[in-house]
A and B are shown apart, each in its own frame.
Chain A
């Protein structure tokens, strides 16, 4: 059981906008910035968002937001290369440990 809850799967068509969510509590998402990590075909994870900031090289089709204890990653103008597993992560104050969500498998139809 992951400390952060993500949808198991989300799908969208090319050009569509999709939003992935990550729900935690006041000890983690409610307190700290959330990072989002893309993993294509079980390869090396890649950072695509932290808070609402884009790492260099990540297209601005990706955006992040947070409301209370839920963080979101929105991908607009969905592209075939966006098909991947996406994980959210942050720190947990009460566990005094890093935590991940279970991951969302994004399928581009």
Chain B
């Protein structure tokens, strides 16, 4: 059974940094892209970024709203993906989900989701 467990969310001051982790199990981690998706209080889902697998050069992509502040990385030996968040803003307050991406090119989708971790940016 696939399990995705996020951790690292907490209260942080504006301008601060935080590193989220997502530990995966139940599937061959290094075969999959892994994405981060967030949901601000009372709002919809927002795509944050993607970590591609070794076959795709471990490349990453981030949404325009976080580009230059957030960085995604992965450690296949630990079956984990990370979200490094710097220069945090109040509007980054959200539940952050990691999601397993499945499918072939042009047909990729989020197959599994973690339970999320809450990041609160406030003074």
Binding site for B on A (CB under 8 A): 2, 31-33, 35, 37, 39, 42, 44-47, 50-51, 55, 85, 87, 89, 91, 95-103
Contacts and interface: CB of A to CB of B under 8 A. Distances in A.
Contact of B107 (A47, A51, A96, A97): A51
B115 interface: yes
Contact of A33 (B97, B108, B114): B108
Interface string B9-44: 000000000000000000000000001010100001
Given A44-B114, A45-B113, A46-B113, A100 B107 contact: no
A96 B44 contact: no
Interface in B101-123: 103, 106-116
A44 B116 contact: yes
Interface of B: 35, 37, 39, 44-47, 50, 61, 63-64, 97, 99, 103, 106-116
Closest 9 CB pairs of A and B: A98-B47, A35-B109, A50-B109, A33-B107, A103-B44, A100-B45, A45-B113, A87-B45, A102-B44
**From A33, A42, A96, A98, residue with most partner B Cβ within 10 Å:** A98
Given A44-B116, A50-B103, A97 B47 contact: yes
Contacts of B64: 95, 97
B44 A100 contact: yes
B44 A91 contact: no
Contacts of B116: 44
9 contacts: A32-B108, A35-B110, A37-B110, A44-B115, A47-B110, A50-B103, A95-B64, A98-B35, A98-B63
A98 B106 contact: no
Nearest to B99: A45
A106 to B, nearest CB: 14
A35 B107 CA distance: 9
Contact of A96 (B61, B106, B111, B113): B61
